[in-house]
Amino acid sequence: MHGDRWIPIRVLNTSSKTITLRRNTKMAEVSACIAVEDLDEDTEAVETVGVNNQAVSCEHFGLQETLTMLGLENLDIDSCEVSPYWKGQLMELVRKYEDVFSKSKLDCGSAKDIVHRIHLSDTRPFRLPYRRVPPGQYHKLREVLSEMEELEIIRKSKSEWASPLVLVWKKSGDLRICVDYRWLNARTVKDAHPLPHQADCLAALGGSAIFSAMDLTSGFYNIAMAEEDKKLTAFTTPMGLYEFNRLPQGLCNSPASFMRLMMSIFGDQNFMTLLCYLDDVLVYAPDEAEALRRLEMVFSRLRVHGLKLAPKKCQLLRRSVKFLGHVVDRHGVATDPEKVKAISSMAETDLMMEDGITPSQKKIKSFLGMAMYYQQFIQDCSRLAKPLFALTAAPKGRKGNAHGAAAFKKLHPSDWKQEHKDAFEQLKVALLESVVLAHPDFNRPFILSTDASIDGLGAVLSQVQDGETKARPVAFASKSLTRAQSKYPAHRLEFLALKWSSKMRSSMTPLSHKLSRL
């Protein structure tokens, strides 16, 4: 420094272009140095985070900045619906278990002490040719296959077995590799391990206020294939024959094996502190402190068993989360607005063939599948959908083929009548106006209300909950009648409704309900 005016600095032009520095161009900023005293040896160290072998003080950075330093920039803690104190506590927990979160595509989990076996009833090999792929998609296909090889999900094969490749393009433009294993599945001895019923999962959330929804990285790929069975998973591509090192989607026993893995890890806590449905995990708790304790239990078990979470798909410490296509909070269970919007925005032409006037049985079935997923939210859903179901009935004497393909009958423009238009619109309106279903309280009585007419049977399970004076619906159910049942007299239909609706007793404790007629 020369006097009190000049500070020489060195300037380096790292580009290939000439840069002219004009007079009075701002080159740098100078700030006064704050004096810092040396700490004594016995001074307590400031809590730090290890990032690339460097110590970084959390107090100097926000939550998201700290997560970025940990390589977890896709994990959103700022959106947690709790106080700053509990966000800080969650941050400490994440730092402690940062290794259970995937930090890149290459950072995948691998379950320990479990492999998937395929037991066949017919061991004769089969070989199916690959389905043609447009040459314009070869580059993307090679790219995906190479990435899967690098991750050791697949390997080149010399198997005598071969199933056809199926390319699935996502909305994002990414390519997903799938395989048509129907021929292999037809010869596979089925695994009887059950999946939990979604209604049972959603009914277990009563009394909870804090929710954390998580998704495992890589899904089925966390489980290794048994070495002797890898050849059975071989699939054909224009680039050659490959087989899976990891458990693929499409095998009939893949869900059972994965659910068995999850039960071996969390079975003692399922329906008590958390819910497991394949690779989806939902931790629920009455308050923040208990929620953190349960999260630590989940993180520690995932670490022990070698599984990892996808940070982008984790919603931690929320008042409301999406789980199994529903929105859950302390008030109850509701439909997912995004899914309902997709259904309600469908136009009549979306159910038609390419000519725009002939109804497509396949498209009608697809619409009904989406709408009926939320049938427990719609009163008299079967009655509303009855005209559309009539159009989807399979031709007499025809059933699906041996590999599960459905049989469709040919429809004509004259088959689409006003009653079908009305049913289509009424179902969409009913979804938009669906109510929030209350969480059942199994310590309080239920009210089962039934109704019957020639159009079908209906039932509503409701309950007056703690602190409320009016009954809230817990679930709706409906059923269409057979031709013989539609001829029953009124009193017999009422008894039929009572008998049929008693299946909802699984939601009620013995002698804790009363019946009424709608």
Q: What DSSP string runs through 416-473?
A: --HHHHHHHHHHHHHHHTPPPBPPP-TTS-EEEEEEEETTEEEEEEEE--TT-SS-EE
What SS3 class is residue 183? helix
For β-strands 115-116 and 235-237, DSSP reports them as: unpaired
In sequence order, what are the beta bridge partners of 332?
A: 329
- Backbone φ and ψ for 320, nearest 5 degrees, come out as -145, 135
SS (H, E, C) 241-294: EEEECECCCCCCCHHHHHHHHHHHHHCCCECCCEEEECCEEEEEECCHHHHHHH
Can you tell me the distance from the alpha carbon of 245 to that of 148, in angstroms, rounded to the nearest whole number? 10
Q: What is the dihedral sign for C-alpha 250, 251, 252, 253?
A: negative
DSSP 321-357: EEETTEEEETTEEEE-HHHHHHHHT--GGGGB-TTSS
pTM above 0.75, yes or no: yes
- Backbone φ and ψ for 85, nearest 5 degrees, come out as -60, -45
Q: Is 159 exposed, middle or buried (0-12, 13-18, 19+ CB in 10 A)?
A: middle
- Backbone φ and ψ for 361, nearest 5 degrees, come out as -60, -35
What does the DSSP 8-state code read for residue 2?
B
Predicted pLDDT of residue 510: 47
Structure tokens at 10: 């060195």
What does the DSSP 8-state code read for residue 74?
T
Predicted pLDDT of residue 277: 96
The low-confidence residues of the chain, meaning pLDDT below 50, are 1-2, 34-39, 41-60, 510-511
Predicted pLDDT of residue 187: 96
Predicted pLDDT of residue 308: 94
- Backbone φ and ψ for 440, nearest 5 degrees, come out as -70, 140
Give the DSSP H/E element, type plus range, for residue 83: none
In sequence order, what are the beta bridge partners of 323?
A: 326
- Backbone φ and ψ for 276, nearest 5 degrees, come out as -120, 125
Exposed e or buried b per residue across 177-206, where buried means at least 16 C-beta atoms within 10 angstroms of its C-beta: bebbbbbbbeebeebeeeebebeebbbbbb
The contacts of residue 337 (CB under 8 Å, 6+ apart) are 327
- Backbone φ and ψ for 428, nearest 5 degrees, come out as -65, -40
All structural domains of the chain, each given as residue ranges with its CATH number in brackets, are 337-396+405-432 (3.30.70), 446-517 (3.10.20.370)
The three-point CA angle 365-367-370 to 5° equals: 110
- Which of 408, 316, 263 is CA-nearest to residue 93? 316
- Which of 93, 86, 54, 53 is CA-nearest to residue 72? 93
